[in-house]
Amino acid sequence: MTITVKLSDKTMKEMDKFYDDFKRLKTPPYALFQADDADCVVTVYTSGKAVFQGKTADLSSKMWIEMEQHNNPGKKVDVKNSEDKKKDKKKDKKNKAITCSAIGSDEVGTGDYFGPIVVTAAYVNKNQIEEINELGVKDSKKLTDEEIVKLVPKFLKKIEYSTYTLSPEKYNEIYDQVSMNMNTIKAILHNKALRQLVDKNLGQEKIIVDQFCDPKLYYRYLKSVPNPVSDITFITKGEDHSVAVACASLISRYIFLQEFDKLSKEIGTTLPKSGGFEADNIGTKLVKEKGFDILTKCAKLNFKNTEKIKEQLKTEM
């Protein structure tokens, strides 16, 4: 998979600092740097484009797409995905997803160092699609947080939905378990949210998940889960093709924002969203004031930010 993202100067500078310890010695022509990020190679060019290539390109790029949105609120992030070339082959499937009664699910928070992961499944009857579209429902990444806070209450009581929120503290506990990784956690949470709606027998024609991994891997992640939800339609950028997925995306972001604000108040510091350089600085400040254990309560410790924070603390000692 190859994902290309157009970035602002501010985001590029944050990426440059973030990947400082993971840069390759040689860089391609016209590139600022090239770095390794798990199963993904990240190349940032002088033109302002960042290219993510590899198995985890979706996960690696998501953090910087969200960072670019945070740095330039209200502006659409220019993202191109090699998977988009396969759209024509899946056109009929996606057109059906637009018009049918469906349960859709999506998640937020997986690219944020601080805060929870929120997964929501939402059911939208085909008779509701036009009404909900008229409200301006679209992918949460295409709306500012302020717009989301105003929009979601307008349709929240009109549809059935199920949400699961995984706190940073619980995330850290789960991640330490054998065979757990981000995609496993996401699959389990998606399945929980979907199962709650499926068991209500709402009459859905399709169950749609915003695709974050290969479908075969998704079901493999659920091998220890009893009676997982099956017959799922996986669609890349599902929120663009299904109102149900778009609603799920918006509700997840809406709840994430509420939980994030609550966490900031509990910690006593305004926590930054995303996982960039600002997160490193705030994390370092928190550890100095409250000790390292404070990160267990508010951050995802397996993120590279944790190592960056440790390095900052060493240099300041």
Among the residue ranges 28-42, 73-87, 160-174, 177-191, the one predicted with the least confidence is 73-87
Per domain, the residue ranges of the chain are 2-77, 87-262, 267-316
Q: What is the mean pLDDT of the chain?
A: 91
66: tokens are: 């969200």
3-state secondary structure of 299: strand
* Separation of alpha carbons 120 and 98, rounded Å: 19
72: confidence class by pLDDT, cuts 50, 70, 90: very high
* Pick from 37, 115, 30: nearest CA to 70: 115
Within 10 angstroms of residue 154's Cβ, the number of other Cβ atoms is: 12
Residue where the block lists tokens 């740095």: 71
Identity (one letter) of the amino acid at 22? Answer: F
**Taking the model in full, what pTM does it have?**
0.70
Strand ranges, E, within the chain: 2-6, 31-37, 40-45, 49-54, 79-81, 102-108, 117-124, 160-166, 206-210, 232-235
How does pLDDT run across 7-52, given as a tens digit for each residue? 999 999 999 999 999 999 999 999 999 999 988 999 999 999 999 9
142 has pLDDT over 90: no
Second-level CATH architecture of 2-77 = 2-Layer Sandwich (3.30)
User: Is the CATH code 3.40.710.10 the one for domain 87-262?
Assistant: no
